[in-house]
Protein backbone atom coordinates (compact mmCIF):
# COMPACT_ATOMS: atom_id res chain seq x y z
CA UNK A 1 0.00 0.00 0.00
CA UNK A 2 2.78 2.42 0.88
CA UNK A 3 4.57 1.54 -2.33
CA UNK A 4 1.56 2.53 -4.38
CA UNK A 5 1.22 5.83 -2.54
CA UNK A 6 4.87 6.66 -3.25
CA UNK A 7 4.51 5.88 -6.89
CA UNK A 8 1.41 8.03 -7.11
CA UNK A 9 3.16 11.03 -5.51
CA UNK A 10 6.06 10.64 -7.85
CA UNK A 11 3.84 10.64 -10.86
CA UNK A 12 1.95 13.71 -9.61
CA UNK A 13 5.19 15.70 -8.86
CA UNK A 14 7.73 14.91 -11.58
CA UNK A 15 9.89 18.02 -10.84
CA UNK A 16 10.36 16.91 -7.28
CA UNK A 17 11.68 13.55 -8.40
CA UNK A 18 14.40 14.90 -10.83
CA UNK A 19 16.01 18.41 -10.74
CA UNK A 20 18.63 18.92 -13.64
CA UNK A 21 21.80 21.12 -13.05
CA UNK A 22 22.23 24.21 -15.39
CA UNK A 23 25.62 23.31 -17.04
CA UNK A 24 25.83 26.52 -19.12
CA UNK A 25 25.64 28.75 -16.02
CA UNK A 26 28.44 26.78 -14.32
CA UNK A 27 30.74 27.11 -17.37
CA UNK A 28 30.24 30.90 -17.54
CA UNK A 29 31.10 31.25 -13.88
CA UNK A 30 34.29 29.23 -14.35
CA UNK A 31 35.37 31.44 -17.26
CA UNK A 32 34.74 34.63 -15.28
CA UNK A 33 36.67 33.28 -12.31
CA UNK A 34 39.56 32.32 -14.60
CA UNK A 35 39.68 35.82 -16.16
CA UNK A 36 39.61 37.37 -12.70
CA UNK A 37 42.55 35.23 -11.61
CA UNK A 38 44.55 36.18 -14.72
CA UNK A 39 43.77 39.87 -14.20
CA UNK A 40 44.87 39.73 -10.59
CA UNK A 41 48.02 37.88 -11.59
CA UNK A 42 48.82 40.49 -14.26
CA UNK A 43 48.25 43.39 -11.92
CA UNK A 44 50.31 41.66 -9.33
CA UNK A 45 53.17 41.24 -11.81
CA UNK A 46 53.05 44.91 -12.83
CA UNK A 47 52.97 46.00 -9.22
CA UNK A 48 55.86 43.70 -8.43
CA UNK A 49 57.87 45.04 -11.39
CA UNK A 50 57.27 48.66 -10.43
CA UNK A 51 58.11 47.89 -6.85
CA UNK A 52 61.30 46.15 -7.98
CA UNK A 53 62.39 49.14 -10.03
CA UNK A 54 61.61 51.50 -7.18
CA UNK A 55 63.53 49.25 -4.84
CA UNK A 56 66.53 49.20 -7.15
CA UNK A 57 66.49 52.98 -7.58
CA UNK A 58 66.26 53.73 -3.87
CA UNK A 59 66.98 50.77 -1.65
CA UNK A 60 68.15 51.07 1.90
CA UNK A 61 71.55 49.70 2.83
CA UNK A 62 71.73 48.49 6.41
CA UNK A 63 74.14 46.42 8.44
CA UNK A 64 72.19 43.31 7.43
CA UNK A 65 72.30 44.04 3.69
CA UNK A 66 73.81 41.38 1.49
CA UNK A 67 76.96 43.07 0.19
CA UNK A 68 77.17 41.18 -3.12
CA UNK A 69 73.50 41.81 -3.92
CA UNK A 70 73.90 45.49 -3.02
CA UNK A 71 76.95 45.71 -5.27
CA UNK A 72 74.97 44.29 -8.19
CA UNK A 73 72.16 46.76 -7.64
CA UNK A 74 74.53 49.71 -7.36
CA UNK A 75 76.42 48.56 -10.44
CA UNK A 76 73.15 48.48 -12.39
CA UNK A 77 72.33 52.00 -11.28
CA UNK A 78 75.81 53.19 -12.19
CA UNK A 79 75.73 51.54 -15.63
CA UNK A 80 72.33 53.08 -16.40
CA UNK A 81 73.57 56.56 -15.42
CA UNK A 82 76.74 56.19 -17.52
CA UNK A 83 74.73 54.95 -20.53
CA UNK A 84 72.52 58.03 -20.31
CA UNK A 85 75.57 60.25 -19.90
CA UNK A 86 77.20 58.74 -22.99
CA UNK A 87 74.02 59.41 -24.96
CA UNK A 88 74.05 63.04 -23.86
CA UNK A 89 77.74 63.58 -24.63
CA UNK A 90 77.13 62.27 -28.12
CA UNK A 91 74.73 65.16 -28.66
CA UNK A 92 76.85 67.92 -27.15
CA UNK A 93 80.55 68.39 -27.96
CA UNK A 94 81.20 70.76 -25.05
CA UNK A 95 79.71 68.31 -22.56
CA UNK A 96 81.68 65.48 -24.13
CA UNK A 97 84.95 67.40 -23.64
CA UNK A 98 84.07 68.22 -20.05
CA UNK A 99 83.31 64.56 -19.23
CA UNK A 100 86.54 63.40 -20.88
CA UNK A 101 88.62 65.92 -18.96
CA UNK A 102 90.72 63.83 -16.53
CA UNK A 103 90.88 66.66 -14.02
CA UNK A 104 87.17 67.34 -14.26
CA UNK A 105 84.66 66.76 -11.49
CA UNK A 106 82.74 64.15 -13.48
CA UNK A 107 85.89 62.12 -14.16
CA UNK A 108 86.78 62.10 -10.47
CA UNK A 109 83.27 61.07 -9.53
CA UNK A 110 83.28 58.14 -11.96
CA UNK A 111 86.69 57.01 -10.78
CA UNK A 112 85.67 57.03 -7.12
CA UNK A 113 82.47 55.08 -7.78
CA UNK A 114 84.31 52.44 -9.81
CA UNK A 115 86.87 52.08 -7.06
CA UNK A 116 84.22 51.45 -4.44
CA UNK A 117 82.21 49.00 -6.55
CA UNK A 118 85.26 46.96 -7.55
CA UNK A 119 86.74 46.88 -4.06
CA UNK A 120 87.11 43.23 -3.01
CA UNK A 121 86.44 43.67 0.67
CA UNK A 122 83.92 46.47 0.37
CA UNK A 123 82.17 47.33 3.61
CA UNK A 124 78.65 48.55 4.24
CA UNK A 125 80.13 52.04 4.67
CA UNK A 126 81.77 51.76 1.25
CA UNK A 127 78.47 50.76 -0.34
CA UNK A 128 76.64 53.61 1.35
CA UNK A 129 79.24 56.02 0.03
CA UNK A 130 79.00 54.51 -3.44
CA UNK A 131 75.21 54.84 -3.29
CA UNK A 132 75.51 58.53 -2.34
CA UNK A 133 78.02 59.17 -5.14
CA UNK A 134 75.79 57.41 -7.67
CA UNK A 135 72.96 59.68 -6.50
CA UNK A 136 75.21 62.66 -7.14
CA UNK A 137 76.13 61.26 -10.57
CA UNK A 138 72.50 60.72 -11.52
CA UNK A 139 71.68 64.25 -10.36
CA UNK A 140 74.40 65.69 -12.59
CA UNK A 141 73.21 63.61 -15.53
CA UNK A 142 69.70 64.95 -15.01
CA UNK A 143 71.06 68.50 -14.85
CA UNK A 144 72.99 67.95 -18.09
CA UNK A 145 69.88 66.53 -19.71
CA UNK A 146 67.80 69.55 -18.72
CA UNK A 147 70.54 71.93 -19.85
CA UNK A 148 70.83 70.27 -23.25
CA UNK A 149 67.06 70.43 -23.64
CA UNK A 150 67.20 74.16 -22.86
CA UNK A 151 70.04 74.66 -25.35
CA UNK A 152 68.17 72.75 -28.04
CA UNK A 153 65.08 74.88 -27.46
CA UNK A 154 67.17 78.05 -27.52
CA UNK A 155 68.96 76.88 -30.65
CA UNK A 156 65.64 76.17 -32.35
CA UNK A 157 64.41 79.64 -31.43
CA UNK A 158 67.69 81.18 -32.58
CA UNK A 159 67.51 79.33 -35.89
CA UNK A 160 63.93 80.50 -36.32
CA UNK A 161 64.94 84.08 -35.49
CA UNK A 162 67.89 83.90 -37.88
CA UNK A 163 65.58 82.64 -40.61
CA UNK A 164 63.21 85.53 -40.01
CA UNK A 165 66.10 88.01 -39.93
CA UNK A 166 67.46 86.56 -43.17
CA UNK A 167 64.05 86.90 -44.78
CA UNK A 168 63.74 90.48 -43.53
CA UNK A 169 67.28 91.25 -44.68
CA UNK A 170 66.59 89.74 -48.10
CA UNK A 171 63.41 91.76 -48.32
CA UNK A 172 65.21 94.96 -47.32
CA UNK A 173 68.04 94.22 -49.75
CA UNK A 174 65.59 93.55 -52.56
CA UNK A 175 63.71 96.73 -51.71
CA UNK A 176 66.95 98.72 -51.59
CA UNK A 177 67.98 97.27 -54.94
CA UNK A 178 64.62 98.19 -56.42
CA UNK A 179 64.81 101.70 -54.98
CA UNK A 180 68.34 102.14 -56.30
CA UNK A 181 67.24 100.90 -59.70
CA UNK A 182 64.33 103.33 -59.69
CA UNK A 183 66.58 106.11 -58.48
CA UNK A 184 69.04 105.36 -61.28
CA UNK A 185 66.40 105.79 -63.96
CA UNK A 186 67.05 108.93 -65.96
CA UNK A 187 64.53 111.73 -66.25
CA UNK A 188 64.21 114.00 -69.25
CA UNK A 189 62.62 117.38 -69.67
CA UNK A 190 62.27 120.24 -72.15
CA UNK A 191 61.21 117.84 -74.91
CA UNK A 192 60.87 119.23 -78.43
CA UNK A 193 60.05 117.61 -81.76
CA UNK A 194 61.34 119.46 -84.80
CA UNK A 195 60.17 118.43 -88.29
CA UNK A 196 63.14 119.26 -90.59
CA UNK A 197 63.14 119.96 -94.29
CA UNK A 198 66.59 119.42 -95.80
CA UNK A 199 67.66 121.54 -98.78
CA UNK A 200 70.73 121.61 -100.99
CA UNK A 201 71.51 117.96 -100.31
CA UNK A 202 71.24 118.43 -96.59
CA UNK A 203 73.45 121.49 -96.33
CA UNK A 204 70.50 123.61 -95.25
CA UNK A 205 67.92 122.56 -92.64
CA UNK A 206 64.63 124.41 -92.23
CA UNK A 207 61.94 123.70 -89.67
CA UNK A 208 58.54 123.01 -91.26
CA UNK A 209 55.07 121.89 -90.26
CA UNK A 210 54.13 120.58 -93.71
CA UNK A 211 54.01 116.80 -93.73
CA UNK A 212 55.03 116.51 -97.39
CA UNK A 213 58.17 118.58 -96.81
CA UNK A 214 59.45 116.72 -93.74
CA UNK A 215 62.66 114.77 -94.27
CA UNK A 216 63.68 114.23 -90.65
CA UNK A 217 61.88 114.18 -87.32
CA UNK A 218 64.43 115.56 -84.88
CA UNK A 219 63.82 115.02 -81.17
CA UNK A 220 65.62 117.33 -78.72
CA UNK A 221 65.55 117.01 -74.91
CA UNK A 222 67.48 117.56 -71.69
CA UNK A 223 68.63 114.82 -69.30
CA UNK A 224 68.12 116.05 -65.76
CA UNK A 225 70.71 115.76 -62.99
CA UNK A 226 70.79 112.31 -61.34
CA UNK A 227 72.78 111.74 -58.15
CA UNK A 228 72.10 107.99 -58.04
CA UNK A 229 72.89 106.80 -61.53
CA UNK A 230 76.57 105.94 -61.98
CA UNK A 231 78.59 107.64 -64.69
CA UNK A 232 78.71 105.70 -67.94
CA UNK A 233 76.78 104.77 -71.04
CA UNK A 234 72.99 104.84 -70.86
CA UNK A 235 70.39 103.89 -73.45
CA UNK A 236 67.26 105.91 -74.10
CA UNK A 237 64.71 104.11 -76.26
CA UNK A 238 62.57 106.39 -78.43
CA UNK A 239 59.10 105.27 -79.51
CA UNK A 240 57.45 107.40 -82.26
CA UNK A 241 53.85 106.66 -83.16
CA UNK A 242 51.98 108.15 -86.10
CA UNK A 243 48.34 108.00 -87.12
CA UNK A 244 46.20 105.59 -85.08
CA UNK A 245 49.17 104.67 -82.92
CA UNK A 246 51.16 103.11 -85.77
CA UNK A 247 54.82 102.68 -84.81
CA UNK A 248 57.39 104.33 -87.06
CA UNK A 249 59.86 101.50 -87.51
CA UNK A 250 62.59 100.34 -89.84
CA UNK A 251 65.23 97.83 -88.71
CA UNK A 252 67.66 99.26 -91.25
CA UNK A 253 67.55 102.59 -89.43
CA UNK A 254 67.93 101.18 -85.92
CA UNK A 255 64.44 100.03 -84.89
CA UNK A 256 64.19 96.99 -82.64
CA UNK A 257 62.64 95.34 -79.57
CA UNK A 258 63.55 95.62 -75.88
CA UNK A 259 61.65 94.92 -72.65
CA UNK A 260 59.93 97.21 -70.18
CA UNK A 261 60.21 97.05 -66.38
CA UNK A 262 57.56 94.32 -66.24
CA UNK A 263 59.40 92.14 -68.74
CA UNK A 264 56.98 92.83 -71.58
CA UNK A 265 58.21 93.33 -75.13
CA UNK A 266 58.69 96.98 -76.11
CA UNK A 267 59.06 97.87 -79.79
CA UNK A 268 61.04 101.06 -80.29
CA UNK A 269 61.74 103.35 -83.20
CA UNK A 270 65.34 104.23 -82.41
CA UNK A 271 67.74 104.15 -79.47
CA UNK A 272 69.90 107.04 -78.29
CA UNK A 273 73.07 106.16 -76.41
CA UNK A 274 74.48 108.84 -74.13
CA UNK A 275 77.50 108.93 -71.84
CA UNK A 276 76.27 110.57 -68.64
CA UNK A 277 78.18 111.86 -65.64
CA UNK A 278 76.80 111.27 -62.15
CA UNK A 279 75.09 114.41 -60.81
CA UNK A 280 75.54 116.32 -64.10
CA UNK A 281 72.74 117.62 -66.33
CA UNK A 282 72.89 117.22 -70.10
CA UNK A 283 71.15 119.69 -72.42
CA UNK A 284 70.09 119.64 -76.05
CA UNK A 285 70.49 115.92 -76.54
CA UNK A 286 69.12 115.12 -80.00
CA UNK A 287 68.21 112.08 -82.06
CA UNK A 288 66.99 112.08 -85.69
CA UNK A 289 64.50 109.77 -87.33
CA UNK A 290 64.47 109.52 -91.10
CA UNK A 291 62.27 107.21 -93.10
CA UNK A 292 62.00 106.27 -96.77
CA UNK A 293 58.25 106.88 -97.05
CA UNK A 294 56.59 110.28 -96.82
CA UNK A 295 55.11 111.48 -93.55
CA UNK A 296 51.35 111.81 -93.40
CA UNK A 297 49.31 114.61 -91.94
CA UNK A 298 48.29 114.23 -88.31
CA UNK A 299 49.62 114.04 -84.77
CA UNK A 300 52.85 112.20 -83.95
CA UNK A 301 53.46 111.11 -80.36
CA UNK A 302 56.81 110.22 -78.85
CA UNK A 303 57.68 108.28 -75.66
CA UNK A 304 61.06 107.80 -74.01
CA UNK A 305 62.14 104.73 -71.98
CA UNK A 306 65.16 104.12 -69.76
CA UNK A 307 65.74 101.05 -67.62
CA UNK A 308 62.36 99.73 -68.75
CA UNK A 309 60.48 102.76 -67.40
CA UNK A 310 58.77 105.53 -69.34
CA UNK A 311 60.63 108.76 -68.58
CA UNK A 312 58.95 111.34 -70.81
CA UNK A 313 56.51 112.05 -73.62
CA UNK A 314 56.02 114.64 -76.36
CA UNK A 315 54.06 115.30 -79.58
CA UNK A 316 54.05 117.26 -82.82
CA UNK A 317 51.41 117.95 -85.47
CA UNK A 318 52.08 117.84 -89.20
CA UNK A 319 49.73 119.58 -91.59
Q: How far is CA 281 from CA 224, 237, 250, 292, in A?
A: 5, 19, 31, 34
Cα atoms found within 13 Å of the Cα of residue 50, Cβ hemisphere only: 5
Indicate the pTM of the whole model: 0.49
Query: Judging by DSSP bridges, how do beta strands 298-306 and 232-241 pair with one another?
Result: antiparallel
- DSSP-derived secondary structure letter, 186: -
Which residues are within 8 A (CB) of 268 and not within 5 positions of it... i.e. 6 or more apart? 237, 238, 239, 255, 256, 257, 258, 305
Low-confidence ranges of the chain (pLDDT < 70): 1-58, 91, 94-96, 98-103, 175-183, 202
Neighbours of 99 (CB within 10 A): 20
Give the pLDDT confidence score for residue 196 in this predicted structure. Answer: 84
SS3 state of residue 307: coil
- Rounded Cα distance between 266 and 255, Å, is 11
User: Tens digits of per-residue pLDDT, 165-192?
Assistant: 888 877 777 766 666 666 678 888 888 8
The answer to whether residues 8 and 17 touch, using CB atoms and an 8 Å cutoff, is no
Nearest to 232 by CA among 294, 190, 276, 270: 276
User: Tens digits of per-residue pLDDT, 299-318?
Assistant: 888 999 988 888 888 888 88
Q: Which helix (H) or strand (E) holds 52?
A: helix 23-57
Give the pLDDT confidence score for residue 176 in this predicted structure. Answer: 67
What are the b/e assignments for 266-293, b being 16+ CB within 10 Å?
bebbbebeeebeeeeebeebebebebee
- Rounded Cα distance between 64 and 171, Å, is 74
Quote helix, strand, coil % in the chain, to nearest 5.
50, 25, 25
Amino acid sequence: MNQEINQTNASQNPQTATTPTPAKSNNTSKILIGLLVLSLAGNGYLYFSKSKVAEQNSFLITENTDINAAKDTLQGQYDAAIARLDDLTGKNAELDQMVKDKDGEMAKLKTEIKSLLTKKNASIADLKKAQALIGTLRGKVKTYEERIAELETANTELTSNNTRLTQVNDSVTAEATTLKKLGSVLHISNIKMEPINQKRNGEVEVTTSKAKRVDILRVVFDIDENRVAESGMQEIFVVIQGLEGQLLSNAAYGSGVTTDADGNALNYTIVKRVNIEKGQKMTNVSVDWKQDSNYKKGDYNISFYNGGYKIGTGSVQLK
